[in-house]
Amino acid sequence: MNTISSKSAGKLLITVIEKHKCDDAMAVARKAGATGGTVVLGRGTAESKWLRLLGLDDVEKELLYCILPSNLVQPVMQALREAPSLARTRGIMFTLNVLDIFRHHISAPGAAFSHIQEEPMSEKSPELPGYELLSVIVNSGSADQVMDAARRAGATGGTVIHARGTARPDDATFFGITIVPEKELVMILSPRGDSERIMESIKADFKDAEPGSGIAFRMDVESFETLGPKKNR
């Protein structure tokens, strides 16, 4: 194995579940040791072409973002997996590595922020994870085109988050991309062996798009589990 300098200050746990269930999930996570989280609204994309033809393909979702110390990841995920209040709630949860954490402490005199940055945890590279998170940021209205291209390459679904850019028309471009206010972020969880093919399909589908109309990137997923009646054990 290749030697690397691997640092981790914690993990980002992302839970994607049905709308109105994030409060239940957060309550479970808190009992397992989590201190808080952030809820983001999104929509799922159904795979059935018949549902899409009927306009019933979009399912409202909520995403719960929790920053956790490494030693709390498994207890929190186990608590979510086994919680009776989430037993009938379908969803997924996965973790991403976090290198630095800055926390704001309102009650701490003389120190507004704390900085967590752990020392190298391992001198050897870990085994390649089984999944990758594909993130595609496109102009509003293009998320369905992204998902169509991804499905042709084997993706089974994704989550769309409505967002906006921060640039003004006269702002400088970033990596050659001019950010416009209305955006959509498409998140696709893919097996590692399929992710490159999916990205190439998306890129090919947008080859005639205006320059600066989107950006796509991949991140390694460290842990992945499903929630609900068919959850992994």
- Which ranges in the chain belong to alpha helices (H)? 22-31, 49-53, 73-82, 143-152, 192-205
pLDDT for 102 equals 60
Three-state DSSP state, 166: coil
Give buried/exposed letters for 6-31 (b at 16+ CB in 10 A, else e): eebbbbbbbbbbbeebbebbbebbee
**From the centroid of its chain, how far is CA 48?**
23
Tell me what the pLDDT averaged over the chain comes to.
78
In sign, the C-alpha dihedral spanning 220, 14, 90, 18 is: negative
C-alpha pair distances (Å), 169 with each of 162, 166, 181: 20, 10, 9
Q: What digits encode the pLDDT tens for the residues 12-59?
A: 999 999 989 999 999 999 999 998 899 999 988 766 554 444 444 567
Tens digits of per-residue pLDDT, 81-125?
A: 999 999 998 899 999 988 766 654 444 444 444 444 554 444 433
Rg (CA), the chain: 19
- Region 163-187: mean pLDDT is 68
Tell me what percent of the residues of the chain surpass a pLDDT of 90: 44
Assess contact for 224 and 130: CB atoms under 8 A. yes
Q: What are the tokens at 188?
A: 């696709």
